[in-house]
Chain A
Amino acid sequence: DAGVIQSPRHEVTEMGQEVTLRCKPISGHDYLFWYRQTMMRGLELLIYFNNNVPIDDSGMPEDRFSAKMPNASFSTLKIQPSEPRDSAVYFCASRRQGAVTEAFFGQGTRLTVV
């Protein structure tokens, strides 16, 4: 398996534009997580899905952020409109059901909003 795949690896966009980040989890994994990482706040959980259903979106900063998981092999995180303070590295991770199953992370998308 190629692991968790995220695209794009880097994204530079202008303030006000829509940004869509993509994630393909590892096949057979039941959970999918979206995290945001900044120097100031470290890794923050934005939202996670279990069997394609959003379970907890309390970490989504505001209505400008939305996430979908239309099927078991694909998820998107959308920011509309983007703002400079959204600049960060966004990680997707997946794991199997079970309390101590390992979570595997993608390489991340570095987003810069200018």
Chain B
Amino acid sequence: KNQVEQSPQSLIILEGKNCTLQCNYTVSPFSNLRWYKQDTGRGPVSLTIMTFSENTKSNGRYTATLDADTKQSSLHITASQLSDSASYICVSGEGGNTGKLIFGQGTTLQVKP
């Protein structure tokens, strides 16, 4: 069964600190790996999209990595801000032109002053 697993489930850090969120996926055929940010009461918003040939992609203070061999991805947040408090969701796109996206459960990040 195609699935995406994330860790940790939740995380609390102090403002200004860095953190790394983890994602393992078992999706076949695999097409792409995405990270979304979801603020409370809002819909998810895309942060990065990577294909299997890409190892890293940045979006401001967010840097995603992808290891297609081990089927792992990470999202690194640098110099965290209070506005980074949100749920971060790892998503794998199915290959074969299905267009289907498989969502992880998300990691809830709380940044404290």
Stretch at the interface among A14-22, A43-51, A60-68, A75-83: A43-51
When C-beta atoms are compared, the residue in chain B nearest to A35 turns out to be B103
Number of chain A residues close to chain B: CB under 8 A = 26
Question: Quick one: which of A55-114 are within 8 Å of B by CB?
Answer: 55-56, 91, 93, 95, 97, 99-100, 102-108
**CB-CB < 8 A to B32: which residues of A?**
99-100
Per-residue A-contact encoding for B11-37, CB less than 8 Å = 1, 0 else: 000000000000000000001101000
Taking a contact as CB atoms closer than 8 A, the residue among B95, B97, B101 that contacts A103 in the complex is B101
Taking a contact as CB atoms closer than 8 A, the residue among B45, B89, B100 that contacts A56 in the complex is B100
Question: Quick one: which of B70-111 are within 8 Å of A by CB?
Answer: 89, 93, 95, 97-106
When C-beta atoms are compared, the residue in chain B nearest to A42 turns out to be B105
Beta-carbon contact of A100 and B105 below 8 Å: no
CB distance from A112 to the nearest CB of B (A): 14
When C-beta atoms are compared, the residue in chain A nearest to B49 turns out to be A100
Chain B interface residues (CB < 8 Å from chain A):
31-32, 34, 41-46, 49, 51, 89, 93, 95, 97-106
For this complex, 12 residue pairs linking A to B, each with C-beta atoms less than 8 Å apart, are A35-B103, A42-B89, A43-B89, A45-B102, A50-B99, A91-B43, A97-B99, A99-B31, A99-B97, A100-B32, A102-B46, A107-B42
